Amino acid sequence: MARVTGTGEEMYALVERMYPLCRSITGDGVRATLDIVGEYIPLQRHEVPTGTQVLDWTVPQEWNIRDAYVADATGRRVVDFAASSLHVLGYSVPVARTMPLSELREHLHTLPEHPTWIPYRTSYYRPDWGFCLAQETLDALPDGDYEVRIDSTLADGHLSYAEHVVPGQVSDEVIVSSHVCHPSLANDNLAGIAVATYLARALAEGTPYYTYRFLFAPGTIGAITWLARNAERVERVRHGLVLACAGDSGQLTYKRSRRGDAGIDRVMRHVLDASGRPHRVTEFTPYGYDERQFCSPGFDLGVGSLSRTPYAGYPEYHTSADDLGFVSPEAMEDTLAVCREAFSVLDRDRAYVNLSPYGEPQLGRRGLYDALGGRSDAKEAQMAMLWVLSLSDGEHGLLDVAERSGLPFATVAAAADALHGAGLIKA
């Protein structure tokens, strides 16, 4: 596969393509989104029938919508699904009625504190219908009768999700998950999908140590469905990362796994600290994105979550203000870079055994000092070799060496490669 270039702009263009689609936890909008992602990376698609028992949940009926509006007495659409997919309460049942504004108000959702924004609201598991609109639009509506129409279907169908696998040297897996169930929300949904897509492409340029499994699924019910259908594969999951809110201008935020000290937790903390980027590392809470499903006590997987401004942490969250202007190529590029750095460390972090543990082996005789000649970081590289030899006891990995020595992980990994090549350590 050709090397990825101009990734920030390309990821933004991918977000632009997906933005108009009306997504929900099921339906054709999810499939259309997966169709687009499938143009960038090969996907294995799955369709799980309505009524399928998945852990403590049941796959719901499939929802699709073709049109919806509120029209005044002149026929003018004062609220129009065609203008924004956010205008309809997600999973609204079909409606075709005329009613006075006083009755209609019970089904209208606004944000009085942000009068120009449209909120995002859903009613997945309770039959209901409604419209979301700007408060200023509602304030301008005169009393009178309005035609209300929602041309939707809620019927037995399927829940759709997809996987992409980057084969590794071992069958142990790293999960990368992003949700595909939100409509026109650029940061909370689409930026994470775009970063995950280009991360998969970047990993495919080489042969990673771990096998990387990318999961594109609707939030909550999608992750639960995957876990229910992959009990045998869960045993091979060693690490995981949920990507969400990956494109805004806020500083990077990493949320630890439920374990708190899983391999991905240590790697993300190290990479963010070493990068010098403004960032936060927060403790696990059982609220947020699908890390809470992967980390549920029965599975207890080492899965953390990476975002920029985290879940519900910005005013534009779940509103029409989370639009294409709210995300940037630069922010997505930065998120992608951190993911690549982290997975590079994850792939190389292995423990070694010193094959000459009695006293310090003679490095010069093996040409290891000569190999450093002329390097601007020769002293640092020499210290890295000594540290790797000292901590190669089968108990300490290279990340332990980097953290204890204060040396860059890349320098430690290069030292390990040199010592391994000289026959002084073995994995």
Phi-psi region of 409 (alpha: psi -120 to 50; beta: other; left: phi over 0): alpha
Copy the structure tokens of residue 19.
């933005």
Measured CA to CA, the distance from residue 193 to residue 279 in angstroms comes to 21
Q: Is 270 annotated as a binding residue?
A: no
DSSP string, 236-295: TEEEEEEE-S-SSSSPEEEEPPSSSS-HHHHHHHHHHHHHT--EEEE---S-SSTHHHHT
Measured CA to CA, the distance from residue 290 to residue 105 in angstroms comes to 34
Copy the structure tokens of residue 387.
């540290």
The answer to whether the CB of 123 falls within 8 A of the CB of 92 is yes
Measured CA to CA, the distance from residue 320 to residue 316 in angstroms comes to 7
The answer to whether the CB of 252 falls within 8 A of the CB of 342 is no
Copy the structure tokens of residue 28.
């054709």
The answer to whether the CB of 119 falls within 8 A of the CB of 77 is no
Nearest to 182 by CA among 15, 362, 385: 15
Q: Is 182 annotated as a binding residue?
A: yes
Measured CA to CA, the distance from residue 29 to residue 65 in angstroms comes to 9
DSSP string, 304-326: EEEESS-TT-STTTTBTTSSTTT
Q: Is 188 annotated as a binding residue?
A: yes
Measured CA to CA, the distance from residue 88 to residue 94 in angstroms comes to 11
Nearest to 91 by CA among 179, 157, 135: 157
Which residue positions form the known binding site?
A: 182, 188, 318
Which residue positions form the known binding site for Zn(2+)?
A: 182, 188, 318
